[in-house]
């Protein structure tokens, strides 16, 4: 078994397809949760959420950052596809043992949700074989089709007496099994041939990614704990709600970053780091702008009259624009073998975020926490630039930061006349800027 190394998709395809795959998976999950809430109540959704959270933590603990490590190494040609298939089989055995250990201590529905989520995590080692290749579309196609089948099955069950917890668990597990079988067929990972697995080398190579995942969790969750020291539970709740609105878009950006890593590790044109960064800058600016334009209606539908959530989400949208761009820088750094350097970047940003929250939360409350999150991304960008050491990236990064700063100024100044006008004006500005960036990016590509 070999990896298709001859043909390469564009960055838009390699990265964008993973973003679309992430969107499709999250939309399917959202619909299933909504149907489950209608048929079995909020408690059933809670069981589903706890099971998937437990599976995610279990998969992270048993994987040691292996997926990101393999994404780079397979793309770079340093890990053969046969070894990936053997590692994939080994992960299945580990996840099966974890499921059996959970079986005596939880209800059957919980265990089925847990096993289904583990299967989805398991697929990641198979998909590294096609990421960054001409077959990359298969991941988005399989995930999208499996999600659509799951939604259709759950909707059918809801129409015939309501979707119960046990029925939902069976359907989710069946859809996960179909997705895993399709992933095996689409990637060729089912061809497991006897051979050696360099376990020590793989674990050693994966540990920086694993440590980075843990620090990333501290970064994205630690601000809530610091904020809770200074404000009421209600204000913390508003901040968590705002972060929940932005969170799915951040997850899409992370998925696109994985695609960009596979793309960058396979190709070595000196112009590619700049192209990768500009692509993510455009995507982030557009995502933040569209989020802000839709935000007033979205917040009203989800939370009713909630001006605090609206204003906090508007600030975190600026974070989203910067985070997208920084995922591009992260892909560039990791493709160059900078896993240890990225770990240091996360150490700097966690320390900086903690300090900023301690300085701002006491005076400005949840708004201080939101602005601290935005400012932390500047620390990330500066640290990434330092370790990448590519002067060609300095100007695009500074331009991106300047655009976010301009949007922040509009948000603050127009905010004196009300939150909704400020949100809409800022969103419109970012959409216009994204359109201008996209036009310039397409012009550069046409000249190459």
- Rg from Cα positions in the chain: 22
pLDDT at 11: 67
The per-residue DSSP string of 67-135 comes to HHHHHHHHHHTSS-HHHHHHHHHHHHHHHHHHHHHHGGGS-HHHHHHHHHHHHHHHHHHHHTTTTTSTT
On the 0-12 / 13-18 / 19+ scale of CB atoms within 10 A, 165 is buried
d(CA 292, CA 194): 53
On the 0-12 / 13-18 / 19+ scale of CB atoms within 10 A, 76 is middle
Distance, CA of 289 to chain centre: 19
Task: Encode the chain (448 residues) as per-residue pLDDT tens digits.
Answer: 555 544 455 666 667 767 777 777 877 877 887 787 777 776 777 777 778 878 877 887 787 788 888 888 887 778 888 888 888 888 899 999 999 988 887 788 888 989 998 998 899 889 888 887 778 788 888 988 998 999 999 889 888 877 888 888 899 999 999 999 999 999 888 887 777 777 777 778 888 888 887 777 777 777 888 888 888 887 888 888 788 788 888 888 887 887 777 777 765 444 578 888 988 999 999 999 999 999 888 777 666 667 888 899 999 999 999 999 999 999 899 888 888 898 899 899 999 999 999 999 999 999 999 999 999 999 999 999 999 988 899 999 999 999 999 999 999 999 888 888 999 999 999 999 999 888 877 666 656 5
Tell me the whole-structure pTM to 2 decimals.
Answer: 0.80
The answer to whether 389 and 329 have CB atoms below 8 angstroms apart is no
Sequence-distant (≥ 6) Cβ neighbours of residue 312 within 8 angstroms: 238, 239, 241, 242, 366, 367, 370
Sequence-distant (≥ 6) Cβ neighbours of residue 102 within 8 angstroms: 54, 110, 111, 114
The per-residue DSSP string of 185-217 comes to HHHTTT--------HHHHHHHHHHHHHHHHHHH
pLDDT at 8: 56
Length of the chain: 448
The answer to whether 209 and 69 have CB atoms below 8 angstroms apart is yes
8-state DSSP, 64: T
């Amino acid at each position: 078994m070999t990896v298709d190394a001859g043909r390469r998709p564009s960055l838009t395809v390699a990265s964008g397809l993973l973003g679309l795959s992430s969107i499709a998976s999250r939309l399917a999950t959202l619909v299933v949760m909504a149907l489950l809430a209608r048929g079995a109540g909020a408690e059933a959704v809670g069981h589903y959420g706890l099971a998937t959270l437990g599976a995610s933590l279990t998969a992270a603990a048993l994987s040691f950052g292996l997926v990101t490590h393999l994404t780079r190494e397979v793309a770079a040609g340093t890990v053969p596809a046969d070894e990936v298939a053997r590692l994939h089989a080994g992960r299945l055995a580990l996840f099966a043992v974890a499921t059996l250990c959970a079986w005596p201590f939880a209800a059957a529905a919980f265990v089925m949700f847990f096993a289904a989520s583990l299967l989805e995590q398991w697929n990641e080692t198979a998909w590294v074989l096609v990421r960054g290749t001409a077959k990359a579309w298969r991941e988005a196609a399989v995930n999208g089709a499996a999600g659509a089948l799951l939604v259709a099955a759950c909707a059918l069950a809801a129409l015939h007496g309501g979707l119960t917890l046990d029925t939902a668990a069976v359907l989710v597990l069946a859809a996960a099994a179909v997705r895993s079988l399709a992933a095996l067929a689409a990637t060729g990972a089912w061809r497991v041939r006897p051979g050696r697995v360099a376990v020590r080398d793989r674990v050693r190579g994966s540990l920086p990614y694993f440590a980075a995942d843990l620090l990333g969790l501290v970064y994205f969750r630690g601000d809530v704990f610091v904020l809770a020291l200074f404000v009421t539970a209600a204000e913390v709740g508003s901040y968590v709600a705002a972060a929940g609105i932005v969170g799915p878009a951040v997850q899409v950006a992370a998925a696109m970053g994985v695609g960009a890593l596979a793309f960058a590790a396979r190709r070595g044109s000196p112009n590619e780091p700049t192209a990768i960064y500009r692509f993510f800058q455009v995507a982030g600016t557009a995502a933040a702008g569209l989020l802000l334009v839709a935000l007033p209606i979205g917040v009203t539908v989800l939370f009713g009259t909630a001006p605090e959530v609206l204003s906090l989400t508007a600030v975190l949208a600026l974070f989203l624009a910067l985070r997208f761009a920084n995922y591009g820088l992260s892909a560039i750094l990791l493709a160059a073998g900078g896993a240890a350097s990225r770990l240091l970047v996360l150490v700097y940003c966690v320390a900086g975020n903690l300090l900023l929250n301690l300085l701002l939360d006491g005076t400005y409350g949840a708004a201080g926490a939101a602005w601290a999150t935005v400012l932390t991304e500047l620390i990330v960008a500066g640290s990434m630039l330092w370790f990448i050491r590519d002067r060609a990236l300095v100007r695009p990064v500074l331009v991106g930061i300047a655009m976010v700063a301009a949007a922040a100024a509009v948000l603050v100044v127009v905010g004196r006349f009300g939150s909704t006008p400020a949100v809409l004006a800022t969103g419109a500005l970012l959409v216009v800027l994204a359109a201008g960036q996209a036009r310039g990016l397409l012009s550069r590509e046409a000249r190459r």
